[in-house]
Amino acid sequence: MGSYVNNHLIKDEQVVFETTYHWTIFFTWASLFTLTIAAWIKRSSDEFVITNKRLIIKTGFISRETIELNLNKVESIQVDQSIWGRMLGFGTVSIHGTGETRQVFTRISDPLEFRRKYQEQYDQYTHARGTFN
């Protein structure tokens, strides 16, 4: 688990699932032009985490952008996979939060598992609170 998430967990919060960019990120134009340094930095610094209370995504190495949504504030998680993505296990994840929040992340490793783990945690979260949607 990355240092950002470690330092920003709240009381009784535990990491349930985390993922990163798929290894195919090393075969992009940006990666090739920087001799894979850009991809290496991006893959090692960005964090995609589901906890028992929140969805936390941190991107950026020097400048940082974070998305921290309570599980009940996520409206949907959409997964798009090409044929290559299905065969190799990567895809695009679109997160739609309440209001106007929408973020898209490409080349995420194991996107279907990411969505499944979110749904499992959301179900447990709502059952524990006694709220059913």
Question: Is residue 125 very low, low, confident or very high in pLDDT (cuts 50, 70, 90)?
Answer: confident
| Mean pLDDT along residues 88-117 | 95
Closest among 71, 57, 47, 52 to 14, alpha carbons compared: 52
Full strand arrangement of the beta sheet holding 74-80: 74-80, 90-97, 102-109
Q: Does residue 131 have a pLDDT over 70?
A: no
Q: What digits encode the pLDDT tens for the residues 5-51?
A: 989 999 999 999 999 999 999 998 888 888 899 899 999 999 999 99
Distance CA 57, CA 17 (A): 12
Q: In 10 A of CB 106, how many CB atoms?
A: 17
Q: Does residue 133 have a pLDDT over 60?
A: no
Identify the sign of the CA torsion 23, 37, 20, 105: negative
